[in-house]
Amino acid sequence: MPLENKEFKPKIVAFCCNWCSYAGADLAGSSRLTYPADVKIIRVPCSCRVNPMFILRAFEKGADGVIMCGCHPGDCHYSTGNYYARRRMTLLFSMLDYLGVENGRTRVEWVSAAEGVKFSETMNSFVEKIYSLGENVRLGDLRCKS
Amino acid sequence: MSSEKKQAEMIKEISGVNPLKCMKCGKCSATCPSYNEMDIKPHQFVSYVINEDIESLVDSKSLWKCLSCFACVERCPRDVKPGKLIDAARQVVVRQRSQDYLKADEIPELLDPELPQQLLVSAFRRYRR
Amino acid sequence: MQRIGVFVCHCGSNIAATVDVSKVAEMALMEPGVVHAEDYQYMCSEAGQAKIAAAIQEKGLTGIVVCSCSPRMHETTFRKAAERAGLNPYMVEIANIREHCSWIHKDMEEATKKAVILMRAAVAKVNLNTPLQAGESRVTKRALVIGGGIAGIQTALDIADAGYEVDIVEKTPSIGGRMSQLDKTFPTLDCSACILTPKMVEASAHEKITIYTYSEVEKVSGFVGDFTVDIRKKARSVDMNKCTGCGVCQEKCPSKKAPSEFNRGLNTRSAIYTPFAQAIPNVPVIDREACIKFKTGKCGICSKVCQAGAIDYEQKDEIITEKYGAIVVATGFDTINLEKYDEYAYSQSKDVITSLELERVMNAAGPTHGHLERLSDGKAPKEIVFIQCVGSRCADDRGKPYCSKICCMYTAKHAMLIRDKYPDVNVTVFYIDVRTPGKNFDEFYRRAVEQYGVNYIKGQVGKVIPQPDGKLLVQGSDLLDNRQILKEADMVVLATAIEPNPDVRKIATMLTASIDTNNFLTEAHAKLRPVESPTAGIFLSGVCQGPKDIPETVAQAGAAAVKAIGLLAKDKLMTNPCTAQADILLCNGCSTCENVCPYGAITYEDKEVNDHGIRETRRVAVVNNALCQGCGACTVACPSGAMDLQGFSNRQILAEVDAICR
């Protein structure tokens, strides 16, 4: 896709679990820790709610990066949810890599409710990575591109 | 950027130290074996860099009295590394005056088995980037 | 088609300063399903809620989106407002345009664009919302308090006085905790045991309180209102019903080598012991590791001298299972390990001690019977140095990053008490700051300096060097006088950092209560909900939540008790209606979902299914709405896509993804 005529503004979807990472994002907000506006957060009850279908849909609709945040292993509010999420995402990202969606476009990060700083640092570094990777051209459904 | 500010920035960059982390506890001064020889004390090095008063630091005796033993770096509870600031200030002085006094290749010839190890380590710290 | 109303909050200038709120409302009207959009100063206020109610009634809205602060703040507020106006409370979605937008993005154009996108995602979601009914679950009117220190005792007393049954589980042989180890308490200089023991007695005598000492929580299952807990009562080897507390067994026990935990290892105790004289229950415990009978099979003196025949070597651990409605964690603290602080010679010299060890030395029931003497040779010290902030306020991994809060005050207390009792002893305190935030605290510290002549030096200590003559050479710096000080001290006291009791990690995992990197339990909201864990039904009391002194601990203990009482006072709780649901037409009864459910909420039933005219009986998954907590693990594990989560359905989340990536 020709990039010369428009400035690249990545679309980044973040799935955050309600108990830890969403609260961590709230703390980052209350502490006024900035990160780029390209990141939009979708709240899920637990990281285990994130179906690989959602991530594929995001790339299909034009997302350039998807990050999933959850509670630290051992601290899941639903005790085992993040273990399933961790295994699932390992497989999914490996498959996406095989399909040509670079490893850097997806990420899993464990952020607790007290880690506002970690949340903003994670988002900052993830967005920086996506900028360096450029626009995502794989898995995109051309009918969705405006 | 004024020259003072530039020098302060250079010292911060060379040493990798963030002087704002200092909580002014004085543990560095408490540990320093050369304390009594110094005019500007270890706990003051950091303030001088923050206030960009590099000239006083460069003209001080402390710069050369510091043994680079790094006890202050080891003991500092805030991980401020004041000893590295002194090393960086020394670098600034050396660069101001001339190029490196000593090239790394020349050192093996000058080696004297009587020289204490620490001296060699300090010399390398001072003369490498 | 839904009729959606979008309400954009200014939140004063919190949102309006960086987001063009009227533009967001304007753009909302262009979204499918939106028939009403407005913006207002404070949506959560009475007036704001009235606007929402008015719009719901006048425009016949079937769903609303509020663009405001985090749902974790006001989702409940807006749900209630909707309900009062006659709309199902689950037809409400919140777009977080404050914490996730206006507060972190400086550029108005960027922030507004993002706010519009977040609004679109919320509208897309609410378009697919269905009205949900919250179910009911029961509340067991019994509370569990984990930890029997002052925090646990106070919480238990407050809950019991309100008329509810409470169990205290304490892992040491007696309740009392750290406060029982203190000599005097600041700022009143009350004798610690004198103010603690009446509370301990009250707790043990209270008809509604059951105390399990020498016991630990082993397993927790269930959820708020209905927890099932396994408590392991470790074998004391003494029959609690027969023991009279006469103490003869402790006197006669020949094994006297075990280090006394109560005296921080400064002296020893017998193998059969009560930790301190006022222990409650006053029933000893046999430390099987130190007991000669348990190690070699020979001895048995305690059994012979016991008039009541209470010794029982065959006693085994007992597991007690109880049901509770609320659990309060009050596990307390310990001082950190000083092994990385070799500059202070703590392990090299017996005369370098921690402040808690000094408490034991100064206490009349301690290893020196209250005489201030050097632990190495028993001589009276003439020169004592206190070092503050040992292991606190540390950015490296040797210590803790936080301030331990109590040390400045207790050192002033120690210094003052020593100067008062031994006026010829010189006391010096090396400090970084003196923190005296409570009532009468600063006055107390000034008394130590002005009235008792304690020498406060602003600076730290670099090292403590034990000398051959037994003295300690302290090398410190005085920042105000700009000199390095070399002091010969007889005793050095380290104000050591405190950390939560290490067992708390295990307990937090059992309760699924959040814990931070310093092992302090996280509160639901730092300012507004300081005694509740984000996990419903779990409350926090005392230092396990953060460093604090005794007045604050007692205050917080009362607060935790009130929250627990508020829960126990309900006859039933409304359960979360955002539960999983299986579409019986798609379910093939494969059991994958059952395996991943952490709550055992899924079972299988044979149901009559009418699938496009084919009538048959199929084994399908059934979700118990009272047990389901709505995590969604089953929905993703389900291979046929039959399982979905109400409130966070697949289509809803996909709609949000579509709206964001548009």
Residue C269 neighbours by CB under 8 Å, 6+ apart: C256, C258, C259, C260, C262, C263
Same domain, C370 and C455: yes
Cα separation of C55 and C5, whole Å?
Answer: 7
Write out pLDDT tens, residues C74-83.
999 999 999 9
Q: Are B68 and B125 in contact (CB under 8 A)?
A: yes
User: Do residue A40 and residue C114 have CB atoms under 8 angstroms apart?
Assistant: yes
> Percent of chain C beyond pLDDT 70?
100
Check contact B-A (3+ Cβ pairs < 8 Å): no
CATH number at residue C642: 3.30.70.3270
Q: Cβ contact (<8 Å) for C475 and B31?
A: yes
Q: Write the CATH number for B16.
A: 1.10.1060.10
List alpha helices for C190-247, DSSP H: 192-205
Give yes or no: residues C495 and C361 share one domain: yes
Residue B128 included in any domain:
no
Determine the angle formed by the axes of helices C650-661 and C108-126, rounding to 10 degrees: 150
Q: Judge if C431 and C397 occupy the same domain.
A: yes
| B65/B123: higher pLDDT | B65
How many angstroms separate the CA atoms of C644 and C604, rounded?
Answer: 16
Question: Tens digit of pLDDT for each residue in B101-118?
Answer: 566 677 677 666 776 777
For the stretch C40-62, pLDDT in tens is 999 999 999 999 999 999 999 99
For residue A108, the cross-strand partners are: A68
Q: Contact at 8 Å (CB) between C455 and C412?
A: no
Contact (Cβ atoms closer than 8 angstroms) between residue C523 and residue C514: no
Q: C398: nearest CA in chain B?
A: B77
Q: A65-74, C450-459, C511-520 — which one is most confidently predicted on average?
A: C450-459
Q: Which one is predicted more confidently, B97 or C375? A: C375
Q: Reading across the β-sheet that carries A106-110, which strands appear in turn? A: A39-44, A12-17, A65-70, A106-110
State the Cα–Cα distance between residues C531 and C542, nearest whole angstrom: 9
pLDDT tens sequence across C427-454: 999 999 999 999 999 999 999 999 999 9
Residue range of the domain that includes B81: 3-98
Counting Cβ atoms within 10 Å, is residue C254 exposed (0-12), middle (13-18) or buried (19+)?
exposed
Q: Which residues of C touch A113 (CB under 8 A)?
A: 514, 522, 534
Shortest Cα distance from A98 to chain C (angstroms)?
22
Percent of chain C with pLDDT over 90: 84
Spans of all domains in chain A: 12-139
Number of helical H runs and strand E runs in chain A? 4, 4
Domain-located, residue C242: no
For residue C558, the surrounding DSSP H or E stretch is helix C550-568
Choice among C229-233, C508-512, C555-559, C654-658 with the minimum mean pLDDT: C508-512
Cα angle vertex C15, ends C11, C18, to 5°? 155
Rg (CA), chain C: 31
What pLDDT does residue A145 have? 64
How far out from the chain centre does Cα C543 lie? 8
Interface test with C, best of A12, A19, A26, A64 (most C CBs within 10 A): A26
CA distance A16 to C96: 13
Residue A81 exposed, middle or buried by CB count within 10 Å (0-12, 13-18, 19+): buried
Instruction: Identify whether B116 is part of a domain.
Output: no
Q: How many Cβ atoms are within 10 Å of C478's Cβ, its own excluded?
A: 16
Residues of B whose CB is below 8 A from C428: none
Can you say how many angstroms the Cα of residue B124 is from the centroid of all Cα atoms in its chain? Answer: 13
Name the DSSP class of C164: -
Residue C346 contacts residue C494 (beta carbons within 8 Å): yes
pLDDT over 80 (residue C257) = yes
Measure the CA–CA gap between C64 and C80, rounded to whole angstroms. Answer: 12
- The pLDDT of residue A2 is 44
Contacts of C110 in chain A (CB under 8 A): 37
Per-residue pLDDT at C116: 95
- Phi/psi at C250 (5° precision): -70, -40
pLDDT of residue C600: 81
DSSP H helical ranges for B32-113: 42-50, 54-59, 62-65, 71-75, 82-97, 107-110
**What's the average model confidence in pLDDT over C265-279?**
94
Contact C512 A79 (CB under 8 A): yes
Last residue of a domain, one of C449, C474, C499: C499
DSSP assignment of C404-469 equals -SSHHHHHHHHHHHHHHH-TTSEEEEEES-----STTHHHHHHIIIIIT--EEEES-EEEEEE-TT
Q: What is the pTM of this model?
A: 0.83
| Residue B111 within any structural domain of the chain | no
Q: Closest residue of B to C478, CA-based? A: B26
Q: Is residue C137 part of a domain?
A: no
What is the amino acid identity at position C294? F
For chain C, the domain total comes to: 5
> What's chain C's average pLDDT?
93
Considering only alpha carbons, which residue of chain B is nearest residue C391?
B77
**What is the number of other CB atoms lying within 10 angstroms of the CB of residue C109?**
12
> What is the tally of structural domains in chain B?
1
Distance from C-alpha of C269 to C-alpha of B106, rounded to nearest angstrom: 67
Instruction: Give me C627's structure tokens.
Output: 């047990």
Tally of CB atoms within 10 A around C532: 22
Q: Are strands A65-70 and C258-259 parallel, antiparallel or unpaired?
A: unpaired
Residues in a beta bridge with C611? C614
Which pLDDT score is estimated for C660?
A: 93
Name subunits touching B (3+ CB pairs < 8 A): C
**DSSP β-bridge partners for residue A66:** A13, A106
Determine which helix (DSSP H) or strand (DSSP E) holds C326, and give its type and residue range. strand C326-329
Q: How far apart are CA C330 and CA C147, in angstroms?
A: 5
Q: Is a pLDDT exceeding 80 seen at residue B82?
A: yes
Chain C neighbors of A50, CB-CB under 8 A: 636
Residue C142 has phi, psi (to 5 degrees) of: -150, 140
C442 and C514 in a single domain? The answer is no
In a domain? residue C660: no
* Confidence category of residue B87, pLDDT binned at 50, 70, 90: confident
CA–CA distance, B69 with B57 (Å, rounded to integer): 19
Which range of residues forms the domain containing residue C588? 580-646
pLDDT digits (tens, 9 = 90+) for C89-136: 999 999 999 999 999 988 999 999 999 999 999 999 999 999 999 888
What gap in Å lies between CA A11 and CA B113, rounded to an integer? Answer: 64
Which helix H or strand E contains C126, and what residues bound it? Answer: helix C108-126
Note whether C393 contacts B77, CB cutoff 8 Å. yes
Stretch C129-149: mean pLDDT, rounded?
Answer: 93
Model confidence band, residue C418 (pLDDT cutoffs 50, 70, 90): very high
Q: Are residues C355 and C454 in the same domain?
A: yes
pLDDT tens, position by position, C576-619: 899 999 998 899 889 899 888 888 888 898 988 888 888 989 99
pLDDT of residue B123: 66
Report which of C39, C91, C97, C89 is spatially closest to residue C63, judged by C-alpha positions: C91
Are C73 and C13 found together in one domain? Answer: yes
Q: Does B77 touch chain C (CB under 8 A)?
A: yes
Q: C117 at the A interface (CB within 8 A)?
A: yes
Helix intervals (H) in C244-288: 248-252
Q: What value does the CA radius of gyration of chain B take, rounded to a whole number of Å?
A: 15
CA–CA–CA angle C557, A76, C548 (5° rounding): 25
Q: Round to whole Å and give the CA distance between C101 and A76.
A: 26
Residue of chain C nearest B22, judged by CA positions: C395
Q: What is the pLDDT of residue C166?
A: 98
CB C105 within 8 A of CB C628: no
CATH number of A12-139: 3.40.50
Interval B33-80: pLDDT, tens: 989 888 999 888 889 888 888 888 888 888 888 888 889 998 999 988
For residue A3, the model assigns a pLDDT of: 43
User: How far apart are the C-alpha atoms of C606 and C617, rounded to whole Å?
Assistant: 6
d(CA C31, CA B127): 66
Query: What SS3 class is residue B126?
Result: helix
- Listed as ranges, residues in chain A with pLDDT below 50 are 1-5
pLDDT category of residue B125 using cuts at 50, 70 and 90:
low
| CA–CA separation, C71 and C95 (whole Å) | 8
- CB–CB of A58 and C515 under 8 A? no
